[in-house]
């Protein structure tokens, strides 16, 4: 399977980063000018007839040499230097996990999105709901590693082979199938494949009605358990999951709403909320739908929209979900993110722990707790969670972010650069560009960081990640007034709610020489949970400008105490 770094878009970006494109354009322009000049002066100066031919040959021969030189070397303010690769290809203990040994666990499976072969494309959501239910049901099989829905759904509509998919997520078995739904009638086809040998272990059609759907799920799960010779937990007994969501109509509504939320626009998110309200009015109170509403309002807050009001409404909906289904792991995990933005970092961790205790494979909770532990510099605890997270949800963006965050917040910046490159490479949107550049900020020349972020900057956009990139640029160039001008009321409020953003601002303001402002934001980051004593005390070199300040020393004392006392 081709490596993702072979992507033509990534290669084009690498050409630009190494300034090869600029060299090609400049060389062509200068070469053409020289040829024109020689052609013009050959006759007046009585130069030999072969002069022009020689010049053309020399220009042609010099072209590949110039391109190779541009690829290997860079001209910087410190002279000619060898261009560093995007990442060094090394890993260390911070992110060593299942990826290091690509032998898949013997009992591991991915349930691929079931294909909708109905005449109505709108039935896609039904197929997605069935996929989710099967993934949930697979978790009843003891010791079976089941890839989460968020990673499984990345293969929807793709052209990868079964073997390629299994290699990418490191599993031995693949379950795939199709759904034909017409009114109340169903035909479901399922087949289990051993990806290593690319052999079909079994395939079967299931005919019935919507009333039979859960019986069909049970039959598929039992068949897999029998084939893999592992025990299926007795599903007649209640499982500590807070109850399962056994209504595909609810799943259909949930996934339609979730699809709109992840378009990251105010209009689409509000449409999701409206659709959820209509469904609740029609179907009555449903924990999963209230959970989705809470997530929608959280996303609006994260976009900087009606922050106080919408954060309260996020809490209201999650409270409602948990009053209906107190042990719903997904609701508890999202509640943790609300706590992170509202007031309490430690309360957020408590909610995440509860969610994982209920469902050890709830990827949203694993992502959240891994992120939290890496942020405060608890490398060992974060790494243990990451190993499990990577097994069940390897392709989730937050999983890829954690691959860089664990080494970054431990002070291992070279490894963080590699991890955040993987996070950035496939989809270099402003948010991902910021983090890749932020790691580069600690290990590469400033010119290289600017070369990465400048093409990604939208000068007019008020979208928060675009503003963050502009702040980054003005910090590097030390244009203090322009930097401060970007800190409008919305940006300040958004950053104050989030410990990571507060920490980023503290670093960038410190680097630019705005000491008081840097100390203000560092204190805000600490208030929001950034009690990473090793980083603040010595490892973060971009805080050097404020380390001599008395206020900084007092903050370090506070952080050391809190870091040593926090319960993990």
- DSSP string of 489-545, one letter each residue: HHHHHHHHH-HHHHHHHHHHHHHHT-HHHHHHHHHHHHHTT---HHIIIII-GGGGG
Distance CA 173, CA 147 (A): 11
More confident residue, 76 or 338: 338
More confident residue, 217 or 500: 500
More confident residue, 18 or 235: 18
214: pLDDT confidence band, cut at 50, 70 and 90?
low
The pLDDT of residue 228 is 66
The pLDDT of residue 334 is 94
Closest CA to 425 of 3, 5, 2, 1: 5
The pLDDT of residue 439 is 96
Is pLDDT of 239 > 50? no
The pLDDT of residue 559 is 96
Q: Does domain 102-237 have CATH number 3.30.70.920?
A: no
Top mean pLDDT of 44-48, 68-72, 395-399, 445-449 is at 445-449
More confident residue, 388 or 473: 473
The pLDDT of residue 79 is 52
Q: What is the largest CA-CA distance in the chain?
A: 101
The pLDDT of residue 304 is 72
Is pLDDT of 58 > 80? yes
Mean pLDDT of 394-415: 91
Mean pLDDT of 137-153: 79
Distance CA 115, CA 500 (A): 39
More confident residue, 526 or 361: 526
The DSSP element (H or E) to which 190 belongs, if any, is: strand 185-194
Mean pLDDT of 226-254: 57
The residues that bridge with 185 in the sheet, in sequence order, are: 182, 209
**pLDDT tens digit string along 161-201?**
999 999 989 999 998 989 888 877 888 888 889 988 888 88
The pLDDT of residue 77 is 47
Closest CA to 568 of 404, 352, 388, 408: 352
Q: Does domain 457-568 have CATH number 1.10.10?
A: no
Closest CA to 563 of 523, 539, 538, 534: 534
Distance CA 50, CA 493 (A): 71
- Alpha helices, DSSP H only, in 325-429? 329-342, 345-358, 363-375, 379-392, 397-408, 413-425
Q: Give start-end residues of each CATH 1.25.40 domain in the chain.
A: 457-568
Q: What percent of the chain has pLDDT over 90?
A: 41
85: pLDDT confidence band, cut at 50, 70 and 90?
low
Is pLDDT of 89 > 90? no
Top mean pLDDT of 166-175, 254-263, 269-278, 390-399 is at 269-278
Mean pLDDT of 123-152: 77
Is pLDDT of 436 > 90? yes
Distance CA 357, CA 334 (A): 15
The residues that bridge with 117 in the sheet, in sequence order, are: none
Q: How many CB atoms lie within 10 A of CB 254?
A: 25
The pLDDT of residue 98 is 37
Closest CA to 471 of 415, 517, 512, 420: 512
More confident residue, 396 or 7: 396
The pLDDT of residue 17 is 56
Residues 6+ apart with CB under 8 A from 158: none
Distance CA 137, CA 220 (A): 9
Mean pLDDT of 415-443: 91
Q: Give start-end residues of each CATH 3.40.50.10610 domain in the chain.
A: 102-237
**pLDDT tens digit string along 329-373?**
999 999 998 998 887 788 899 999 999 998 888 888 999 999 999
User: Could you tell me if 314 and 330 are in contact, meaning their C-beta atoms sit under 8 angstroms apart?
Assistant: no
Q: How many CB atoms lie within 10 A of CB 316?
A: 14
The pLDDT of residue 241 is 43
Closest CA to 369 of 402, 414, 417: 402
140: pLDDT confidence band, cut at 50, 70 and 90?
low
The pLDDT of residue 16 is 59
Residues 6+ apart with CB under 8 A from 544: 510
509: pLDDT confidence band, cut at 50, 70 and 90?
very high
290: pLDDT confidence band, cut at 50, 70 and 90?
very high
* Overall pTM surpassing 0.85 (yes/no): no
Q: Beta strands 199-209 and 185-194: pairing type?
A: antiparallel
Distance CA 82, CA 75 (A): 9
């Amino acid at each position: 399977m081709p490596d993702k770094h072979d992507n033509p878009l990534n290669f084009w970006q690498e050409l630009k980063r190494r300034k090869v494109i600029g060299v090609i354009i400049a060389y062509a322009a200068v070469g053409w000018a020289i040829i024109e000049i020689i052609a013009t002066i050959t006759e007046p100066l009585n130069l030999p007839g072969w002069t022009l031919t020689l010049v053309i040959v020399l220009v042609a021969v010099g072209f590949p040499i110039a391109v190779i030189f541009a690829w290997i070397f860079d001209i910087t303010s410190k002279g000619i230097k060898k261009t560093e690769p995007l990442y060094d290809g090394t890993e260390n203990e911070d992110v060593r996990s299942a990826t290091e040994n690509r032998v898949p666990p013997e009992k591991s499976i991915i349930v691929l999105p079931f294909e909708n072969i109905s005449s109505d494309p709108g039935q896609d959501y039904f197929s997605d709901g069935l996929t989710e239910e099967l993934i949930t049901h697979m978790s009843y099989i003891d010791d079976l590693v089941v890839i989460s829905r968020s990673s499984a759904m990345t293969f929807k509509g793709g052209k990868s082979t079964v073997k390629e998919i299994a290699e990418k997520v490191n599993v031995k078995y693949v379950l795939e199938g199709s759904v034909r739904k017409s009114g109340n009638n169903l035909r479901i086809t399922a087949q289990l494949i051993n990806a290593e040998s690319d052999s079909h272990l079994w395939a079967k059609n299931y005919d019935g009605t919507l009333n039979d759907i859960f019986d069909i799920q049970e039959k598929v799960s039992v068949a897999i358990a029998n084939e893999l010779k592992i025990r299926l937990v007795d599903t007649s007994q209640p499982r500590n999951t807070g109850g399962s969501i056994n209504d595909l109509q609810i799943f259909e509504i949930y996934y339609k709403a979730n699809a709109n939320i992840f378009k990251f626009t105010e209009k689409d998110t509000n449409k999701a909320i409206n659709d959820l309200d209509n469904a609740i009015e029609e179907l009555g109170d449903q924990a999963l739908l209230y959970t989705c509403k809470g997530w929608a309002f959280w996303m609006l807050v994260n976009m900087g929209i009606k922050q106080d009001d919408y954060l309260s409404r996020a809490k209201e909906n999650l409270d409602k979900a948990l009053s209906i289904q107190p042990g719903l792991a997904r609701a508890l995990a999202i509640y943790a993110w609300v706590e992170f933005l509202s007031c309490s970092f430690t309360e957020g961790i408590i909610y995440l722990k509860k969610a994982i205790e209920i469902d050890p494979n709830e990827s949203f909770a694993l992502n959240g707790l891994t992120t939290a532990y890496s942020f405060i510099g608890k490398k060992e605890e974060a790494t243990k969670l990451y190993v499990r997270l990577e097994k069940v949800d390897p392709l989730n963006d937050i999983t890829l972010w954690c691959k860089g965050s664990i080494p970054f917040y431990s002070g291992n910046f070279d490894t963080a650069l590699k991890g955040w490159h993987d996070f950035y490479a496939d989809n270099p949107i402003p948010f991902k560009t910021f983090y890749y550049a932020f790691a580069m900020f600690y290990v590469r020349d400033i010119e290289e960081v600017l070369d990465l972020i400048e093409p990604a900057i939208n000068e007019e956009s008020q979208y928060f990640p675009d503003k963050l990139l502009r702040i980054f640029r003005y910090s590097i160039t030390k244009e203090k007034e322009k930097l401060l001008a970007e800190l409008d009321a919305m940006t300040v409020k958004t950053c104050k709610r989030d410990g990571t953003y507060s920490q980023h601002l503290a670093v960038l303001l410190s680097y630019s020489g705005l000491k008081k402002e840097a100390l203000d934001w560092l204190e805000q980051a600490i208030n929001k949970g950034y009690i990473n004593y090793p980083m603040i005390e010595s490892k973060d070199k971009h805080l050097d400008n404020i380390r001599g300040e008395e206020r900084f020393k007092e903050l370090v004392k506070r952080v050391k105490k809190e870091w040593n006392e926090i319960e993990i």
